[in-house]
Chains A and B, each alone.
Chain A
């Protein structure tokens, strides 16, 4: 398996633009997580899905952020409009819930810079 695949790896955009980050989880995994990492706040859980259904989005900063999982092999995190304070590395992770200790497999991350 190629692991969790995220795209783009790097994105530089201007304030006000729409940003879409993509994630392909490991085949067979039934849980998907979006995290955000910054120097100031560390690693924050934004939202997670079980069986394609959003379970907890309490970590989503505000209405500018939205996430979807239309099927078991694809998820998007969208920011519209983007702001400089959204600059961070966004990680997607997946796991097989119910397999015992919940081990998350992370993607390499998408580094977002909003100018």
Chain B
């Protein structure tokens, strides 16, 4: 089927630690891939995206590379800050050009000072 699977949280890190949140997807074809972030009490916001294999999306120090060989789009950041504490959602677009996104279950990140 078409789905997105993320590593389970919560993830708790100290400030300046390295972050990885794993995401894998299933799809027929090559969907566009996204990471969204949800800060407490807010809606989801686009963090970064990649539209084809080997593309690297980046924003605010976060990066993710579209790996078609492993059907993965892992999120990384070299040095997290307390302000990065949020819920992170991996997503892919639908199998046809419908405009809808399929989201993973979300991973909560808590960064401690």
Q: Give the B-binding residues of A (Cβ under 8 A).
A: 4, 31, 33, 42-43, 45, 48, 50, 55-56, 91, 93, 95, 97-98, 100-109
Contact = CB atoms under 8 A, between A and B. Distances in A.
A106 B32 contact: no
Given A42-B105, A43-B106, A103-B49, A97 B99 contact: yes
B93 interface: yes
Contacts, number: 63
B88 interface: no
Q: How large is the interface on B (under 10, 10 to 19, 20 to 34, 35 or more residues)?
A: 20 to 34
B89 interface: yes
B53 to A, nearest CB: 14
B103 A101 contact: no
Nearest to B46: A103
A60 to B, nearest CB: 14
